[in-house]
């Protein structure tokens, strides 16, 4: 698939089939992530793939506990699109354990070497995660960037023995899509592009 077609149709997927995603496919996603640009080529990233059903169940229960107040009190979406997005986000959280794999994007504070800064951890992990979701789309695999599993960070750290110096940033849900990939809806170019001067 052409890379522009993959980017154009790389919608966040929140509904997945339960079929497992083969490890070779998951490894290819990590390969794609690690091709990304990163500060000074410091490559301070690390990726934890969680596909163990027991771990997903424990983490999923904790996530749901953390999200329950939000789901109970959330205001309705401002329009149909936002409401569908919120419903999808709720579905994803409630079905955490059924998502075939979760990839946790993590980073170490290593850049610049003489005075490591927290901001460079973000610069490290987000381009990598974006590479990953575009590569997944090209392989017919659905993904959704999320942050809500942060509610279960202590449990993930303990169950998965995550080293202390790794900071957890993004939790990418991965699976074969149950719904169709759609064109992403973004602002028109004219609204966001300026040549030389505003």
Ligand X SMILES: Cc1cc2nc3c(=O)[nH]c(=O)nc-3n(C[C@H](O)[C@H](O)[C@H](O)COP(=O)(O)O)c2cc1C
Q: Which residue number, 22 or 182, has a Cβ lying nearer to ligand X?
A: 182
What is the distance between the alpha carbons of residues 122 and 9, in angstroms, rounded to a whole number?
25
- Sign of the torsion angle spanned by Cα atoms 76, 82, 84, 85: negative
Q: Which residue number, 23 or 178, has a Cβ lying nearer to ligand X?
A: 178
Bridge partner residues of 48 (DSSP) = 104
Bridge partner residues of 106 (DSSP) = 46, 168
SS3 state of residue 13: coil
- The residues of the shown chain that bind ligand X, judged by CB under 6 A, are 11-12, 14, 85, 88-89, 92, 144-148, 170, 184
What is the distance between the alpha carbons of residues 10 and 13, in angstroms, rounded to a whole number?
8
Supply the minimum distance, in Å, between the C-beta of residue 63 and ligand X: 10
Residue 155 C-alpha from the chain's centroid:
18
Bridge partner residues of 101 (DSSP) = 174
List the one residue out of 96, 95, 75 whose CA is nearest residue 86.
Answer: 75
Supply the minimum distance, in Å, between the C-beta of residue 58 and ligand X: 19
CA torsion angle 179 13 187 36 (round to 10): -140
Q: Which residue number, 116 or 150, has a Cβ lying nearer to ligand X?
A: 150
Q: Which residue number, 111 or 169, has a Cβ lying nearer to ligand X?
A: 169
Supply the minimum distance, in Å, between the C-beta of residue 148 and ligand X: 4
Supply the minimum distance, in Å, between the C-beta of residue 115 and ligand X: 26
Q: Which residue number, 17 or 179, has a Cβ lying nearer to ligand X?
A: 179
Supply the minimum distance, in Å, between the C-beta of residue 120 and ligand X: 17
Supply the minimum distance, in Å, between the C-beta of residue 48 and ligand X: 17
Q: Which residue number, 112 or 182, has a Cβ lying nearer to ligand X?
A: 182
List the one residue out of 130, 111, 131, 132 whose CA is nearest residue 120.
Answer: 111
């Amino acid at each position: 698939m052409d890379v522009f077609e993959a980017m154009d149709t790389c919608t966040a997927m929140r509904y997945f089939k339960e079929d497992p995603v083969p490890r070779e496919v998951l490894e290819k996603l990590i390969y794609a992530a690690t091709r990304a640009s990163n500060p000074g080529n410091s490559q301070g990233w690390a990726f934890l793939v969680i596909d163990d059903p027991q771990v997903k169940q424990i983490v999923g229960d904790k996530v749901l506990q953390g999200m329950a107040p939000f789901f109970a009190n959330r205001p309705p979406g401002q329009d149909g699109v936002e409401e569908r997005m919120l419903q999808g986000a709720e579905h994803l959280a409630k079905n955490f354990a059924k998502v075939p794999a979760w990839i946790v994007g993590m980073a170490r504070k290593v850049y610049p070497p003489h005075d490591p800064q927290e901001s460079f951890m973000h610069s490290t992990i987000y381009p990598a995660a974006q590479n990953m979701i575009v590569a997944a789309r090209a392989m017919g695999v659905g993904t959704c960037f999320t942050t809500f599993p942060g509610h279960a960070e202590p449990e993930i750290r303990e169950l998965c023995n995550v080293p202390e110096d790794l900071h957890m940033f993004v939790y990418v849900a991965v699976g074969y899509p149950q719904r169709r990939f759609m064109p992403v809806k973004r602002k028109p170019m004219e609204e966001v592009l300026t040549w030389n001067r505003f």
